[in-house]
């Protein structure tokens, strides 16, 4: 039986229901492909409410678990979105997998995304339309590359970084194509335009006009939030009178969103009555949960161990990894695999992820930030722990609390021949 989705229950796109229905932002997209001059992304900032901020990152499976918890406590949530803390399409695998899992479990849920448009390729538009992602917000701050270049420090396309006008032109080209593609796919499009004093405040109406020509549905002129340690930190936030004037000018081309609350990347609740602080503990707990993955393609778990009993090796120092599986009779050691050559940095972690392509998780005594990010992006759950291998395997396969596995990690460097006394952040 096909379940109809009531798109009128999206509070961001329908101001009439903002006090009746709510949304949750799922922070599954940590990487960003542009650097805005007004943005400083950071975690563990629960008392600060602005885009780009979240207290933690979730895997797709953890996001679905969190969604379940949220809906149990707050059934008025009708929308699940991904708005960072980076960009959904700088993290396409995590984004698409989260949307697929949500659609499978909650067929009536409204799904939406917020992106800068740079990485929103035609194949991704086709995929999100198939999943029935119905609403997409694209942030476009200018349609003149000379203005655009003042807003961004750099733009990254795959592994190439562009600055100045070249970066601005590439970003604009992708943004315009994204809006056209989204509308051709029947997706509702909102345009966010961050109003920056002295940069684009005179130009927003031109953005609205162009977006109307492309078929956009809604325009959201947002006052820039001055953020510490950014190039625009000393600019004043546009006042209410200025914003009202800009919105009135833009309204001759597109309907205006006037009830935006500049949500965090982990926002949850009704607009104007956010419950992020209330759900903070739940969010953190879900991020530490090893959600069971029913994946025939990833039946194994990799383990960094000296003797095959304890998890007692640093990920970067392990010369080989044990590969374990769960059987009807318990846990079984399948084989041992040699680790990639040391000292290759990013390349080494990518090779390690390839080595673990049939593994759902890797257990190690310590794991640096770079390998954590790469492994997670490639679908391998990085688990830091001390203690018996069996305890870690139970938590991964049965969905235990990963935070309870973390010990003092004193084993690293204390075992003869370990050869590593680092903190896990730089070894390669």
Instruction: Give the confidence band of 191 by pLDDT, cuts at 50, 70, 90.
Output: very high
Residue 209 pLDDT > 60: yes
Residue 18 pLDDT > 90: no
In angstroms, the CA 82 to CA 46 distance is 18
In this structure, how many other beta carbons lie within 10 angstroms of the beta carbon of residue 369? 11
* Fold designation for 7-287: TIM Barrel (3.20.20)
CA terminus-to-terminus distance, the chain: 52
Instruction: Give the confidence band of 416 by pLDDT, cuts at 50, 70, 90.
Output: very low
Q: SS3 for 226?
A: coil
Q: What is the mean pLDDT of residues 77-83?
A: 94
Cα-based angle 50, 52, 55 (whole degrees, multiple of 5): 90
By percentage, how much of the chain surpasses pLDDT 90?
58
The confidence score (pLDDT) of residue 295 equals 59
Residue 419 pLDDT > 60: no
Q: Where in the chain is the domain with CATH 3.30.420.130?
A: 300-405
Q: Where in the chain is the domain with CATH 3.20.20.70?
A: 7-287
Residue 53 pLDDT > 80: no
The confidence score (pLDDT) of residue 306 equals 92
Instruction: Give the confidence band of 101 by pLDDT, cuts at 50, 70, 90.
Output: very high
In angstroms, the CA 168 to CA 342 distance is 38
The confidence score (pLDDT) of residue 134 equals 95
Strands of 9-162 (E only): list them: 22-25, 34-36, 42-43, 53-54, 77-82, 110-115, 133-139, 152-157, 160-162
Buried b (16+ CB within 10 A) or exposed e, 87-124: bbbbbbebbbbbbbbbbeebeebbbbbbbbbbbbeeeb
The confidence score (pLDDT) of residue 50 equals 54
Instruction: Give the confidence band of 375 by pLDDT, cuts at 50, 70, 90.
Output: confident
**Average model confidence (pLDDT) across the chain:** 87
Q: Name the token pair of 190.
A: 């909102």
- Assessment of whether the complete model's pTM goes beyond 0.75: no
CATH of 300-405, one of 3.30.420.130, 1.10.150.20, 1.10.1040.10, 2.60.40.10: 3.30.420.130
Residue 421 pLDDT > 80: no
The answer for 117, left when phi > 0, alpha when psi is -120 to 50, beta otherwise, is left
């Amino acid at each position: 039986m096909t379940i109809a989705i009531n798109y009128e229950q999206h509070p961001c796109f329908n101001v009439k229901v903002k006090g009746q229905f709510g949304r949750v932002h799922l922070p599954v997209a940590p990487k960003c492909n542009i650097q805005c001059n007004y943005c400083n992304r950071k975690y563990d900032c629960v008392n600060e409410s602005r885009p780009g901020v979240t207290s933690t990152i979730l895997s797709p499976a953890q996001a679905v678990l969190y969604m379940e918890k949220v809906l149990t406590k707050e059934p008025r949530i009708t929308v699940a979105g991904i708005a960072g803390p980076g960009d959904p399409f700088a993290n396409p695998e995590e984004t698409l997998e989260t949307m697929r899992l949500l659609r499978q479990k909650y067929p009536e849920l409204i799904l939406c995304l917020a992106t800068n448009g740079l990485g929103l390729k035609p194949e991704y538009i086709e995929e999100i339309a198939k999943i029935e992602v119905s609403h997409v917000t694209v942030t476009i701050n200018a349609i003149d590359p000379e203005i655009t270049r003042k807003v961004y420090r750099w733009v990254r396309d795959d592994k190439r970084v562009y600055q100045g006008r070249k970066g601005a032109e590439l970003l604009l080209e992708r943004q315009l194509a994204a809006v056209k593609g989204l509308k051709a796919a029947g997706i509702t499009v909102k345009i966010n335009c961050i109003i920056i004093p002295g940069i684009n405040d005179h130009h927003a109406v031109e953005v609205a006009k162009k977006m109307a020509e492309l078929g956009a549905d809604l325009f959201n002129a947002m006052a820039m939030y001055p953020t510490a340690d950014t190039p625009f930190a000393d600019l004043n936030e546009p006042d209410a009178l200025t914003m009202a004037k800009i919105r009135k000018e833009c309204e001759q081309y597109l309907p205006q969103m006037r009830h935006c609350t500049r949500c965090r990347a982990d926002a949850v609740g009704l607009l104007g009555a956010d419950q992020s602080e209330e759900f903070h503990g739940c969010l953190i707990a879900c991020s530490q949960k090893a959600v069971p993955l029913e994946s025939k393609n990833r039946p194994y778990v990799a383990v960094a161990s000296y003797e095959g009993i304890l998890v007692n090796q640093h990920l970067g120092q392990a010369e080989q990894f044990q590969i374990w599986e769960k059987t009807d009779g318990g846990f079984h050691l399948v084989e041992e695999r040699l680790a990639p050559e040391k000292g290759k940095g990013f390349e080494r972690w990518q090779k390690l992820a390839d080595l673990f392509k049939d593994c759902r998780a890797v257990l190690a005594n310590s794991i640096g930030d770079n390998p954590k990010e790469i492994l997670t992006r490639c679908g391998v759950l990085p688990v830091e722990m001390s203690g018996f291998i069996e305890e870690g395997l139970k938590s991964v396969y049965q969905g235990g609390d990963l935070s309870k596995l973390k010990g003092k990690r004193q084993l690293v460097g204390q075992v003869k021949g370990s050869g590593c006394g680092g903190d896990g952040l730089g070894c390669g």
